[in-house]
Structures are given as structure tokens and as C-alpha cells.
Chains A and B, each alone.
Chain A
Amino acid sequence: MDFHRPETLKDAPTHYCPGCGHGIVHRLVAEVIDELGIRQRTIGTAPVGCAVLLYDYFNCDIIECAHGRPPAVATGIKRMLPDRILFTYQGDGDLAAIGTAETIHAANRGENITVIFVNNAIYGMTGGQMAPTTMIGQWSTTTPDGRGQYAEGGPIKVCEMLSALDGVCYLERVSVSSPKDVMNARKAIKKAFENQIAEKGFSLVEVLSMCPTDWKLPPEKAMDFVNEKMKKVFPLGVYKDRSGGRHE
């Protein structure tokens, strides 16, 4: 089959570590933007974290936001320019730690934006500290004995948490740890963009991704870590769907 770099992705080498899932998620988002033919009117809002250099890689408008604020920035742009397609691309530290308030309130207002949430259960850019999504017992530089329920509390499950809000249209948790999961992730991301085009409201796709460097694992073991450990704590699936049927 024919397989090429999507037009929305610039022909530039990325700064991500070998085996990092960000490159795969970038490509999936770019493929969906190409397929829907919305590149000229798409605006992305970038997080602080590993994906901070999004503007170097995406061939569409990208705005770099203050830490945790992409949903707030996207809200402003979408309300002023409702014909544009807005997506935010955020990691777990950005979306679920410093940006919790922005995320929850943008979801609760039912802003017509698409959120791509990359969950790798650790702070990647700063060197492997505990993130809100770090799992119980998981090693990080700030939890050298593993995260404990008593001292640090359990991981925040974003899809489960947001599913209680009335304003949310679509929530799905996917993964990029096998070819099958990558194809499912692409479908979910496409649907999240289609929901926005059809003005159905807030859509969030949580992508479980690998961080071999900060998990201190080789890339193949990092894939196993997602498949065997992360998927148990963060089960894949659709958590909310008010969009009315799966549109292909």
C-alpha cells in the first residue's frame, strides 16, 4: 500500500527520543488533518512538555501556550474564529497537573475543540519526575520507592473524570503500542476532528504512549509496559459518545 509523509507534517527530524510515541501521534493527527482537507484552517495549540516544539513539525498554524493553558487559548480562538478547526496537543503534566482547571472547565462548557492528550505516566521533558498519571508502584525520580497510595495518591484517570461532565461530547482512550492500537487511535482522532467540524462539542482522545528514556526501558520493553501494565490501570475504550453513531 502507498504510505507517505502527510502534507501536514513538515519534513524535519524530530527531537524525540528513540521509541517515543509522540512521533506516531504527530503522524496520526497530521494524517487525519490531511484526510479531512482542513489543513488551511486548522490551528493547533501546543503545550509545555516534550511536544513544546510542535510548531517545528506541523505544517499548519500552531500557537505555543503557557503551561497547561491550551484549552483556554483554544477556547478564545474558537470563539473569535468559529470557522477554524482548533486542536490542543497536551501531555499528562500539562493537561492533568498544571492545566487541570482549564481542562475541566473547557470540557464542562462544552467548547467545540479537539483535545489530543498524550499520557505516558511520567514527566518526560524534565527528566522523569512523578506525573499525576504515574501508576501506583511505578518508579520515577521523585518516587524512588514507587508511587504510594498514601503519600502521593493514585493516578488521575482523565477520561473517567471528564465523563461525568454534561458538556463533553466524546471521550476515548486509545494506545500506540501495537499496529492495531495505532489504527484504532487514528479512527478515534478522526472522529474527534469530525465532531468538531459537525459542531458537536468537546472531544478528547487520550493516547497511552511510550517513554523509554524516563521509564529506563528499551523501546520494545516500553511497548510491553504499555500493553501489560498501563492498559490495566487505564483501560482502553470509549468513555462517552454523544456524537450519535460512529461516522467513518
Chain B
Amino acid sequence: MAKIKFYAERCKGCGLCVLVCPHGNIRMSTELNETGHPYAVLVDPARCTHCALCGRMCPDMAIEIDDPKTSKKDKSGKPRE
């Protein structure tokens, strides 16, 4: 099962991910992170299709997706042939 991760400490709160999410499934937090920015959070993990549009638009690499199906690495972290 694919899993999406938001790194709150890297987020600068620009909100580009909120704009491009095709399901409107990302919102900005009401709290601030340690650098003083609001950060992106997933509204409903079940509705996320792991399309990675948010990650592609994120200027700060604050979003990563683990997907064992399309991963180029196997479980031990070695590159797949």
C-alpha cells in the first residue's frame, strides 16, 4: 500500500500543493512549524490516489510517496534490476 508523507519541518507554507491536488485533499495547518510557516497536511488519507502532483509542484521536497509497486528499490533498499 502506497503511503504519502508530509515533512512539516520542511514546508514553507506556499500552498502550491493545495492548488494542484485534483481531489482538494490537502489543506494548510492552523499551527505553525518551527520555522514559523503554516504547513501542508493531508485531509483524508483514504482519498489520496498517490498521483504525486503535489510532490511535483512542491519547491521544497516536503512531500514524498512510498509506493512498493512502482519503487525502483526492493524492501532492503537495494536498487531493483
Contacts and interface: CB of A to CB of B under 8 A. Distances in A.
Interface of A: 1-5, 9, 13-14, 16-24, 27, 178-179, 182-183, 212, 219-220, 223
Given A1-B51, A5-B64, 11 more contacts: A2-B66, A2-B72, A3-B52, A3-B56, A3-B63, A18-B12, A19-B15, A23-B60, A23-B61, A179-B57, A219-B14
Interface residues on B, range: 20 to 34
Q: Which secondary structure characterizes the binding site on chain B?
A: loop
B81 to A, nearest CB: 14
B43 interface: no
B55 A219 contact: no
A245 B66 CA distance: 34
Nearest to B50: A1
A14 B60 contact: yes
Nearest to B19: A220
B67 interface: yes
A22 B64 contact: no
A77 to B, nearest CB: 28
Interface in B30-65: 37, 50-53, 55-61, 63-65
B69 to A, nearest CB: 8
Nearest to A178: B20
